[in-house]
Structure 1
Amino acid sequence: MIGLLVGLLVLGLESSGLLERYSLQTLDLLFQKALPSRPGAGDIVLIEVDQASLDFYQSQGLTWPWPRQMYAPIIDYCWQAGATAIIFDILFTEGSSYGQEDDLRLAQSLDRAANGFLPLFFTRNPRKDNGLPPEGLQNQGLSVAGQPPGEDPGYQSVMLPVPPLRAAAAGLGNVEARPDSDGVYRRLTLLVPFQGRWWPQLAMAAYLHHYRVKSLAWQPRGLQLESTAPTKTRGTHFSEIIPLLPDGGLLLKYRPGARPYRRYVAANVIQSYVQSQAGEQPIHPLSDFSQKWVLVGLTAPGLYDLKATPLSPIYPGVAIQATLLDNLLNRDFLVPLPRVGAILLTLGISLTAALTVLWVPALWLTLLSLIGYLALIMTLAVLLFVTGVWLDAVPPLVAVVFAFGVSAAYSYSTEGRQKRVIRRTFAHYMSDTLIQDLLKNPDKLRLGGERREMTIFFSDLAGFTSLSEGLSPEELVSLLNEYLTQMTDIILARGGIIDKYEGDAIMAFWGAPLSQPDHAARACLAALEQQRQLSKLRSEWQSRGLPQFSARMGINTGEVVVGNLGSNTRFDFTVIGDAVNLASRLEGANKSYDSGILISETTAVQAEGQVELRELDLLAVKGRATPVRVYEVLAPKGQLEAVMVQVRELFAQGLALYRQQRWTEAQALFQQVLELCPLDGPAQKFLARCQTLVGQNLGPDWDGVFRLTTK
């Protein structure tokens, strides 16, 4: 929903025009960077009235504006060369200041060439004298079938070439063009309406004339051209559609590079004509203009025909007409991505970006995804642009950034708040690694429980109450905190969760809220590490004159109910069940064996590959009729000392004899254990039992179970 709303918002911003500036700048960047630098059409050449030409003739006493007959040699020379068309991007809307003969001299050259084209200029300001009666102008315009796109520009008048030139020209074309909102010329309107007829752009007028196009029609996809007259390059018939923007304009496909078209200095072309007439070697041979589309224009800075384009802030206006002609001749157009496609892309990328933020938990992955989406859009824009399709990358780019920002804010205020609660709740009794995993799966903490096999751990300090009576409250708290801190660190490091503290007792568990297949082994290894660390603490406490404590630990694996148990306003993440009670009873049962770590058979079976064990007894704890086989955890797997290996073997033999009621033989084996390890608590306890039972026959019904009557 967030992604969709953001996408619609961005599309609204686009429709309002607020993104237009950035879209146009992105288009310019594509022109400058995406297209390979290559020359334009080789059959298009420019003859420029540049600063060098002005300076050359000024040095001979000829100032600007030149006499019109100065352009006649250019026309004559190109005509002699066999130029395809001669297109003047220079307005001749007023009579020559050198007199009518000057206009007639230029008109003679135009008439002889029969392929010269002159510009006209439409304005939105009414004029009393537009140079031509309306009925005369109507006869020269084009008829176009179909419904035209865009709006009527509202032209009120037209500035035409003077009558002699107008009559001699092969055709007239519009050079009025309006830049985009930032002053850059990126598009041209191919046909404009005036007095019931349609008038083409100057370069297009020459194109239509050359290919003898007589049928034009507006189509949904653009402007359709048809010709049945034979041409040298396109056969006896051709039909094509020029893709247009919704407003009827053509998006120009500029050629990158400083000089995409071959350019000639006007003064040199004039001199070439004079030299050829005198039989001299011309500066530019006639072959330079053979079969060429020749465009003549003003490029000197002071002549005010320089415009801003995507490629340069100073670009000759005549080169814009050359670009249009190039696009037409090569049918190489730049087409905007269809509106439906652009909308779907913006909405789709916005929705995908929002889902990424909400689904990807890691911040660095989210940022990497953001960069990836931005790069993907720009790569797609470049690839499409090279093939002639303009994808306006700004709306999808903005949509991605907005979607990431809004989704991140939403996530922080909702899921983020939930994660902060989780971290605050579990920080003191769960490792940071587990918390991170839990943050990825917060649903595991919903109120209520689930049945799951887990391993439960209980520990208690033996004789803590009596031994601590000589300590002040401050000393007692300090000692207890020191002990609990170090034991807790070990449990958390092994992936356990602290359920609760009760004085010096610790309850912890493994296997929830996240699955841990090796939960039994984790608990046993954590217990061993705690015993080793407690041994170090005892040495420290002894040096400080503090009491010495030992710890009893009980571990059981079984099915329990785990989850957030409590009310809607106050709950704890804990475990309940018979397996929990048995773990607690096993912790207390250590007193009956003088052992340190007592575990159940279910725990032993699952942890056997990770720890060294010694079977101790069949035990029925208080409140539980069913006996359980119990084991003592001795060491991590493979780390049992050699003497303890012997102790375990002798003890196992003695236990087997004990269960056969062979008390005396069992007693001898337990005695051997004590000779190897005098402080072995289980051997001492079983030796005492055997001494009590010597001479007794408990009968065949004796099950060998040791039943506890206390906790």
Structure 2
Amino acid sequence: MLKFKNREWLLSGSITGIIVVIIFLSPMLDNLELLSYDYRLYIRSLIESGSQDNIVIVEIDEESLEGIGKWPWSRTYHAKLIRELNQAGAKIIGFDILFDFPKGSDEDRELSKQLLESNKVVLPYVLEDKEIRELSFWGLIRSRKLWSGEIKYPIEDFKYNARELGYLNLIQDSDGKVRRIKFIDHDLTPFAIKLAEEYSQEDKDFLAEELLINFHHNENYFKNISFTKVLQGDYPQGFFQGKLVLVGATERTLRDYLITPFSFVKGYLAGVLIHAEIIDNYLKDSFIYNINDLQVIFYLILFSLLTAIIYSRLSPIQGIIILILSFVLIVFTGILSLLNFNIFVPIIPFILISILNLVISNLMAYWEVKDRKEHLQRTFSRYLSNEVIEKVINLPEKDYLKGERREITVLFIDLNDFTSFSERKSSVEVVGILNKYLSVIIDEVLRFGGTLDKFLGDGVMVFFGAPIDQVDHGLRAIELALSLQNKVDNDEELPLSISIGINTGRAVVGNIGSTKRSDYTAIGDVVNTAARIEGLAGGGEILIGEGTYQQIKDSFRIEVKSPVTLRGKLKEENIYKVIREESCNEEDL
């Protein structure tokens, strides 16, 4: 069986885990998590080296626009490019250009002819989408683009003469960045995937409907050449031999630029380069997969339970150290899973769990300390003054309810002739007079910082030196005794004298008893000896043992009585009497 405290922390960890799971399944953390993914992907790209030699990008760049003229160009230039690439040995050609409206019949006829003769060109089409606004479970209004079912194809001749077709649409996340490719329909294939399939002659069956694109930071990862240079034949021999060639705009004025995970270091990226990255991922099997949501939920709950139990055993400072270490471990795991296994593991929910469990742990610890202080307040309020209680509950790292051996000074105070007095009085009078005596005694004990141990009928046991250290416990005991004797002597409502026995020595002090009832008390020979000494004292007398005498002999006038053998002792012991007239006045305290 688990201990109650462990069950309490397990419950706390479970609740925290469930809350974070709900947050994880909502869109609340999406942008922050995606940002963390961007930096992890960037770190991966810095570690990885190499290049993609099978893909060549023919750029419609500033040089091309200056050489050929303002965009859009005559389609005869594209026909010439296909012919040149075909002669140069290109294996597959893809145009990141949507030829969706007819132009001059001659130039359209020329391009259509080259498409048919080459049988190497893959053309794109566009899925027409519609934007919908929806209210999520969290009260957030979100816009989503969905395929309307309509398709914008190239013109008819191009559509049928091309080798294959693929849709050009790229999915943007909520922050506007392109990070993934989505398979919208089983019968429709993304443009870049279709190019990769035709080039590799492989038809890969991906296990997910969405794949994260593994972008590369290296500027020279892909080979590239200007459109005009290809037309002019200005390229090395074998440059296009057996290559997959992508044709697209890289000139910023043509506005085919999108935001990617590396926009914070590379700025916007041309669409043709994003398609090149997708093709590269296909050829190298380097797409990044999302971890299954059910797996994430399982690990979140498990992690929450584990951190809750760990934090419950640590101090706040230790908890902060573990929190920092957990941050490092979580981030390292996120980077490692991306680097070695091509898996995107969310890290923000795990970081959130670490923070929440530490906060909850500290709050629970605070309430435990508060409950402990209240418990000590209730426990010691019967024995100690408020000032002493405050000192006790604020002393750190110590449970004063556990037994410990320490030096204390014990007093026994008794009313003389109370038995015969009570026989002559009514029960109401007896209780009344007893309460008056006990009230005076209690007030004085608390005033001098003593611990009220117990009532013994018409007597009281008091000790000094516990639960807090009092180096002058012997002195305090004598001053309390003198004050009590003076008050009894000078109060006409207190007709009976009191006798006091005091002894100093080591005793075991602590909360002694059962789980149902216990008292904070002292036990040991010093207690028994103090009780025996009080039994020898007469009315108005203060008798002390050897231990107390050694502590206070230079502060008070002391008279040595004859050595006596106390009950239960084998050897004689000196008993001393405190002379009241020469003692310190209580005003000197």
- TM-score over 0.5 for the alignment? yes
Give the structure 2 partner of residue 254 of structure 1: 215
Which amino acid in structure 2 is aligned with residue 47 of structure 1? V
Report the AA paired with residue 25 of structure 2.
S
Residue in structure 2 matched with residue 351 of structure 1 by the alignment: 305
CA distance in 2, matches of 1:567, 1:324: 73
Q: Could you tell me how far 1:582 is from its partner in structure 2?
A: 3.0
Deviation at residue 117 of structure 1 after TM alignment: 0.8
> Is the Cα–Cα contact under 8 Å of residues 559 and 579 in structure 1 kept in the other structure?
no
Distance 2:545 2:145 in 1: 102
Contact kept in structure 2, 1:253 and 1:334, CA below 8 Å: yes
Q: Secondary structure at the match of 2:53?
A: coil
- Which residue does 2:17 correspond to in 1? 7
Give the CA deviation at 1:406. 3.3
2:195 maps to what in 1? Answer: 206
Query: What is the Cα deviation at residue 590 of structure 1?
Result: 6.0
Q: Which consecutive unaligned segments of at least 5 residues does structure 2 have?
A: 1-10, 131-143, 381-385, 412-443, 455-460, 479-500, 535-541, 553-561, 579-589
The 5 Å alignment of 1:153-232 reads 154-190=147-183, 192-193=185-186, 198-213=187-202, 225=204
Q: Identity of counterpart residues, as a percentage? A: 21
Correspondence list, 1:90-101, <5 A: 90-96=97-103, 99-101=104-106
- d(CA) in 2 for partners of 1:291, 1:185: 29
CA distance in 1, matches of 2:287, 2:407: 74
Give the one of 71, 74, 80 matched to 2:81.
Answer: 74
Matched residues in 2 for 1:286 and 1:111: separation? 25
Residue type of the alignment partner of 1:366 = G
Query: TM-score, length-normalised on structure 2?
Result: 0.68
Aligned to 1:394: 348
**Which residue does 1:466 correspond to in 2?**
none
Alignment size in residue pairs? 464
Match of 1:507 in 2: 463
* Aligned partner of residue 82 in structure 1, secondary structure: coil
SS in 2 for 1:399: helix
Aligned partners of 1:40 and 1:326 also within 8 Å: no
> Take 1:209 and 1:555, find their aligned partners in 2: how far apart are those partners?
99
Cα distance in 1 for partners of 2:269, 2:184 equals 23
Partner of 1:115: 120
Per-residue deviation, residues 416-471 of structure 1 (Å, max 9, x unmatched): 32244478779737978993112xx5xx74xxxx7x562342189xxxxxxxxxxx
User: For the Cα contact (< 8 Å) 2:546–2:576, is it kept in 1?
Assistant: no
Task: Provide the C-alpha distance between the structure 1 equivalents of 2:86 and 2:23, rounded to a whole number of angstroms.
Answer: 53
Q: What amino acid does structure 2 have at the position aligned with 1:371? A: I
Match of 1:31 among 33, 41, 61: 41
1:324 to 275, 278, 287: 278
Q: Does 1:55 align with 2:11?
A: no
Secondary structure of 1:437's partner? coil
Pair 710,291 (structure 1): closer, same or farther in 2 beyond 3 Å = same
TM-aligned CA distance change 1:286 to 1:94, over 3 Å: farther
- Alpha-carbon RMSD across the aligned residues, in angstroms, is 4.2
Q: Distance in 2 between matches of 1:594 and 1:153?
A: 92
Q: Which runs of 5+ in 1 are unaligned?
A: 126-150, 215-224, 226-240, 274-281, 461-479, 489-497, 514-521, 535-551, 599-616, 628-703
Question: Shift in Å at residue 188 of structure 1?
Answer: 1.1
Report deviation, 1:584: 7.0
Shift of 1:576: 4.3
Structure exhibiting the larger radius of gyration computed from Cα positions: 1
**Which of 316, 331, 352 pairs up with 1:378?**
331
Residue aligning to 2:251: 300
Check if 1:626 corresponds to 2:569. Answer: yes
Alignment of 1:88 onto 2:95: yes
Deviation at 1:530, TM superposition (A): 8.8
Q: Secondary structure at the match of 1:72?
A: helix
CA offset at residue 14 of structure 1? 2.0
CA distance in 1, matches of 2:279, 2:52: 9
Q: Name the CA shift for 1:376/1:401 in 2 (closer, same or farther; >3 Å).
A: same
Shift of 1:171: 0.9
Task: Tell me which amino acid in the other structure corresponds to 1:11.
Answer: V
Q: Which residue of 2 aligns with 1:137?
A: none
C-alpha distance in structure 2 between counterparts of 1:555 and 1:290, whole Å: 104
1:95 Cα offset (Å): 1.2
Distance change >3 Å, CA 563–CA 51, structure 1 → 2: farther
- Once the two structures are superposed, residues 217-245 of structure 1 have per-residue CA deviations (whole angstroms, 9 ceiling, x without a partner) of xxxxxxxx3xxxxxxxxxxxxxxx4342x
Q: Distance in 1 between matches of 2:66 and 2:532?
A: 111
> Corresponding residue for 1:339?
293
Deviations 1:11-59 (A, max 9, x none): 112222222222222212222234425354222221111233213333x
| Greater RCO, 1 or 2 (C-alpha within 8 Å, sep 6+) | 2
| Contact 2:58/2:245, CA 8 A, preserved across alignment | yes
Once the two structures are superposed, what CA deviation does each residue of 1:328-348 show, in whole Å capped at 9, x if it has no partner? 101112122232331122222
User: Quick one: which amino acid aligns to residue 91 of structure 1?
Assistant: L
Task: Confirm or deny that 1:562 pairs with 2:511.
Answer: yes
1:88, distance to aligned residue in structure 2 (A)? 1.0
One-letter amino acid matched to 1:22: L
Amino acid paired to 1:14: F
Residues in 1 aligned to 2:189 and 2:546: alpha-carbon distance in whole angstroms: 108
- Contact 2:181 2:212 (8 Å CA) reproduced: yes
- Deviation string, structure 1 residues 252-271 (Cα, Å, up to 9, x no partner): 11112345322222222222
Residue in structure 1 matched with residue 52 of structure 2 by the alignment: 41
- Aligned match of 2:138: none
Q: Could you say which residue in structure 2 is the equivalent of 1:368?
A: 321
CA contact (8 A) 2:337 2:343 kept: yes
Maintained 8 Å contact 2:409/2:505 = no
CA separation of 1:259 and 1:243: change in aligned 2, threshold 3 A: farther
- Given candidates 217, 226, 234, the residue that maps to 1:265 is 226
